[in-house]
Amino acid sequence: MAFKQKNRQRIIDGYLAETGRNIFLPREFVEWLADKPDHEAYPIIFAKSDGEAAMEYRVDLARRIAAGLRVTVTHSEVVNRVVHVTTREYPAFVSPVAHRRGGGGYQPFDETGNHTAELRAQGRVALRGWLERYRGAFEADGVDLSGIEALATEPGALEAAA
């Protein structure tokens, strides 16, 4: 989105003030904006034709079909005639960030390739977003977030903290 947070806040506050609403309902906002082509948010919401927007929506639905699917990987290792079994669960498909600008796609998870490192990198980004959103609520209750902060840092920081 082309607007920074303070501008998005101003736009939503303006909409609420103009309509007299005290709750933001995205559908009502879009309907309200539809006949305001001079509004600064109009190009963001209505930049695409209905056909283009419908195709984006359908592509998003297709992404959701693959999202959340899991694969279980089991490893067996024999040490001194004792079998150690480790089971880990991973996403069934991975969308490498580096490939997304070119259209990307979802690749079947391969534990032996770079997918594990890719998941850790994406996990760090997700944890930083989680901290940004929820930090205050947890810190208000005195929760120590240092473990999450360590995981959210760049590679090597976790090992250095140990």
Predicted confidence band of residue 156 (pLDDT cuts 50, 70, 90) = low
Nearest-angstrom CA–CA distance, 128 and 50? 35
Q: Tens of pLDDT along 28-43?
A: 999 999 999 999 999 9
Q: Are 76 and 91 in contact (CB under 8 A)?
A: no
Q: Tens of pLDDT along 42-76?
A: 999 999 999 999 999 999 998 888 888 888 888 89
Question: Percentage of the chain with pLDDT > 90?
Answer: 59
- Residue of higher predicted confidence among 1 and 78: 78
Q: Tens of pLDDT along 75-120?
A: 899 999 999 999 989 989 888 888 888 777 888 888 887 899 999 9
Would the pLDDT of 1 be above 60? no
Amino acid type, 104: G
113, 150, 107: which is closest to 131 by C-alpha?
Answer: 150
- The secondary structure element, H or E, covering residue 126 is helix 115-139
Strand partners of residue 107: 94
Phi first, then psi, for residue 90 (nearest 5°) are -135, 165
